[in-house]
Amino acid sequence: MVNLKINGIPVQVAEGTTVLQAAKEVGVYIPTLCYHPDLTPFASCGMCVCKQENNNKMIRACSTPVHEGLSVITDDPELFEVRKAILEMTLSTHPNSCLTCIRNGNCELQTLAAKFGIREQPFESRVSKLRADTSSPSIVLDPHKCIKCGRCIQVCQELQGVFALDFIGRGDSTVMSPAASLKLNDSPCVKCGQCIVHCPVGAIYEKDETAELRAAIADPNKVVAVQMAPSVRVGISEEFDLPVGTVSTGRLYAALRKIGVDVVFDTNFGADLTIMEEGSELVKRITTGGVLPQFTSCCPGWVDYCEKFYPELIDNLSSAKSPMMMQGAITKTYYAEVSKTDPATIYSVALMPCTAKKYEIKRDDSMKSSGYDDVDLVLTTREIARLFRANGIDFAALPDEECDCPIGEYTGAGTIFGNTGGVMEAAVRTAYKLVTGDELEDVNVNAVRGLENVRKGEVDMNGTKVRVAVVHGLANAKEICDEVLAAKKAGDPAPYDFIEFMACRGGCIAGGGQPYGTDDQIRKERIAGLYNDDENSTFRKSHDNPSIKKIYSDYLDAPLSHKAHSLLHTSYTVRKKYNF
Ligand code: SF4
Ligand code: SF4
Ligand code: SF4
């Protein structure tokens, strides 16, 4: 432990702690702009400048480790002026477009400008005329709003290992850009949106498609059917100032009906369906000598990464579509049939925590298995929250409502799809039944829970040992993919049977379409919200869902049947190969 003083307050912290972290421990605020707790401090902006007492040496709190006897002053008139000047200089290269900016109201630069009472711009304006890159189906890069904090580049390189973004040029002409000045859609970008949720300003954002939903609702010839992903129900609460981790399922159903949506379904049902198909596929691969390990395929960011960086492993991907795409396919087939609705009139919308999902609905022809686009539109949690606000919905005050049958009922296993380890846990609960014929007594599979980068375990299914691994954050996927690939090339036995991959740290609860400001504490609280919901569910295993039993008996026949294959499964493509 190290002893120091912050503004005269004695503090004892662990060695290696930074001044910024130590100040936080005693409730002292130090302003930051480029710093993000997920990332290695970049120390580019200078806002966290502090003084070492006695010698007045200026230090950057985010990147300076504490040492015994250190005494730090975090605020005085001189530090205030230095920070104000940094903000004024930053604003001199930033367009004054707050009123029309997507981050209006939640921009870190805007908040700091307000806090420091910036009322004029003493420095000559030097705003670049760079144009926005709209080539991606998911993400817009608007470099003329970029304040060059470096967070997006760090997250893409450190957390995701994708290296799609970089700073190009030198000095004043430095710009944030896809590496090698490519268009974003031609770069290795997997559309996870982590750059968006880490950007402090409006320089990277999701393609806003709220107008499309408004138009569909206003069209009397369309039946608007909306599904919502597991993690949206916990993320949306923060958009309406409810405590982090609050699960707002019933409120979401109610809010959707209030804005004019015709039928409300739940992607959790699609998640239960995914478990039936993916679990059966796993058992088939294990018992018939199929390609192992089987990789999960519900995360389009991960699937895009696998196709681009590990094309040699695409046979390991489960052929099961994601819960969103399964739900879309059965909305325009099974639901259309039982409700006697012309599928041509159904406008199928998915509320997702994810920007990559905007790409997934168009990734190939198997996404039109109903004969139409299975999902017409994807809106992120942030987009649907904006739409609710624009419609004057008092979200927090809404009474709970139920979703619509017959493809809305779900189990706790479907709910935990929203967090890292959840797909694996849900799969184990059902695979146990498929392999042994018995029910798993304790459904809490604690070995795969948590935020450790890679978690490994072995599940004993009455003598059949199933070796599993859970990976989140694409930079961590490299380690496991390299291990699997090396075994494959050497002709060695597969080192695992089943691996869950999620592109985003923490899983979809912290996806690129979720509320801003995520850190590990928030991830843990959102995850706890979903597990709590799981524990309180009537059914906690996908195969126990009465509506799942009914869709198989009435329509799909059995998991992996011909009909299930044509509606619920897909294939993969070798994309351009990228090396690290
Ligand atoms: S969306 Fe993901 S992969 Fe693409 S640039 Fe952003 S962080 Fe990188
Ligand atoms: S785009 Fe955003 S996150 Fe990236 S460097 Fe610019 S301001 Fe920072
Ligand atoms: S982890 Fe979830 S939110 Fe992130 S890219 Fe994958 S599906 Fe999207």
SS (H, E, C) 170-226: CHHHCEEEEHHHCCHHHCCCCCCCHHHHHCCCCCEEECCCHHHHHHHHHCCCCEEEE
pLDDT band for 353, please (50, 70, 90 cuts). very high
Look up residue 2 and give its two tokens.
């190290």
The predicted pLDDT at position 345 comes to: 98
Which bin fits 27, alpha (ψ -120 to 50), beta or left (φ > 0)?
left
Using the mean position of ligand 1's atoms as its centre, give its distance from the Cα of residue 354 in Å: 12
pLDDT band for 357, please (50, 70, 90 cuts). very high
pLDDT band for 128, please (50, 70, 90 cuts). confident
Query: What domains lie within the chain, and their CATH numbers?
Result: 2-75 (3.10.20.740), 90-206 (3.30.70.20), 211-568 (3.40.50.1780)
The predicted pLDDT at position 388 comes to: 98
Tens-digit pLDDT profile for residues 454-487: 999 999 998 999 999 999 999 999 999 999 999 9
Tens-digit pLDDT profile for residues 212-260: 999 999 999 999 999 999 999 999 999 999 999 999 999 999 999 999 9
Please state, as a whole number, how many other Cβ atoms lie within 10 Å of the Cβ of residue 53: 14
**Amino acid at site 347:** Y
Q: Taking 90 as the threshold, does the pLDDT of residue 371 lie above it?
A: yes
Burial (CB count within 10 angstroms: exposed 0-12, middle 13-18, buried 19+), residue 565: middle
pLDDT band for 576, please (50, 70, 90 cuts). confident
Alpha-carbon gap, residue 224 to 364, rounded angstroms: 23
Give the residue carrying structure tokens 């001044």.
19
| E strand residue ranges, 374-523 | 377-380, 454-461, 464-472, 498-502
The rounded percent of the chain whose pLDDT value lies above 90 is: 94
Q: Contact at 8 Å (CB) between 514 and 523?
A: no
The predicted pLDDT at position 250 comes to: 98
List residues near ligand 3 (CB under 6 A).
Answer: 192, 299-302, 353-354, 356, 502-504, 507-508, 511-512
The predicted pLDDT at position 132 comes to: 96
Q: At what angle do helices 232-239 and 381-390 cross, to 10 degrees?
A: 50
Look up residue 531 and give its two tokens.
């597990």
Alpha-carbon gap, residue 91 to 85, rounded angstroms: 10
Burial (CB count within 10 angstroms: exposed 0-12, middle 13-18, buried 19+), residue 24: middle
Using the atom order of ligand 2, give the atom closest to the CA of residue 149.
Answer: 8
Q: Contact at 8 Å (CB) between 225 and 390?
A: no
Look up residue 22 and give its two tokens.
């130590």
State whether the beta carbon of 176 lies less than 6 angstroms from ligand 2: yes
Mean pLDDT of the chain: 96
Look up residue 352 and give its two tokens.
């997702």
pLDDT band for 491, please (50, 70, 90 cuts). very high
Protein residue whose Cα sits closest to atom 4 of ligand 2: 152
pLDDT band for 397, please (50, 70, 90 cuts). very high
Q: Which ligand is located closest to the Cα atom of residue 148?
A: 2
Protein residue whose Cα sits closest to atom 8 of ligand 3: 354
Please state, as a whole number, how many other Cβ atoms lie within 10 Å of the Cβ of residue 121: 13
User: Would the CA dihedral through 296, 317, 271, 253 be positive or negative?
Assistant: positive
The predicted pLDDT at position 580 comes to: 58
How are the residues of the chain apportioned to helix, strand and coil, as percentages rounded to the nearest 5?
Answer: 45, 15, 45
Phi/psi at 183 (5° precision): -70, 150
Look up residue 29 and give its two tokens.
């605020």
Q: Contact at 8 Å (CB) between 20 and 61?
A: yes
Protein residue whose Cα sits closest to atom 8 of ligand 1: 156
Alpha-carbon gap, residue 217 to 87, rounded angstroms: 43
Alpha-carbon gap, residue 132 to 426, rounded angstroms: 41
State whether the beta carbon of 146 lies less than 6 angstroms from ligand 2: yes
Alpha-carbon gap, residue 436 to 78, rounded angstroms: 71
Over residues 493-514, mean pLDDT? 98
Q: Contact at 8 Å (CB) between 223 and 341?
A: yes
Over residues 110-126, mean pLDDT? 94
The predicted pLDDT at position 179 comes to: 85
Q: Taking 90 as the threshold, does the pLDDT of residue 544 lie above it?
A: yes
Over residues 523-542, mean pLDDT? 98
User: Would the CA dihedral through 128, 129, 134, 140 be positive or negative?
Assistant: positive
Phi/psi at 56 (5° precision): 60, 15
Give which of 464, 249, 225, 260 is closest to 346, Cα–Cα: 225
Say whether pTM exceeds 0.75: yes
Spatial neighbors of 204 by CB under 8 A, at least 6 apart, are: 139, 140, 141, 142, 152, 195, 196
Alpha-carbon gap, residue 402 to 249, rounded angstroms: 9
Q: Contact at 8 Å (CB) between 450 and 527?
A: no
The predicted pLDDT at position 172 comes to: 78
pLDDT band for 68, please (50, 70, 90 cuts). very high
Protein residue whose Cα sits closest to atom 2 of ligand 1: 192
Q: Taking 80 as the threshold, does the pLDDT of residue 577 lie above it?
A: no
- Name the residue of 508, 514, 523 to mutate for ligand 3: max ligand atoms within 8 A of Cβ: 508
pLDDT band for 170, please (50, 70, 90 cuts). confident
Over residues 169-175, mean pLDDT? 85
Which bin fits 164, alpha (ψ -120 to 50), beta or left (φ > 0)?
alpha
Look up residue 294 and give its two tokens.
């089987």
Q: Taking 70 as the threshold, does the pLDDT of residue 161 lie above it?
A: yes
State whether the beta carbon of 513 lies less than 6 angstroms from ligand 2: no
- Name the residue of 159, 162, 192 to mutate for ligand 3: max ligand atoms within 8 A of Cβ: 192
Residue scoring higher pLDDT (318 or 575): 318
Alpha-carbon gap, residue 164 to 145, rounded angstroms: 19
The rounded percent of the chain whose pLDDT value lies above 70 is: 100
State whether the beta carbon of 190 lies less than 6 angstroms from ligand 1: yes
Tens-digit pLDDT profile for residues 49-60: 999 998 889 999
Using the mean position of ligand 1's atoms as its centre, give its distance from the Cα of residue 426 in Å: 28
Over residues 393-419, mean pLDDT? 96
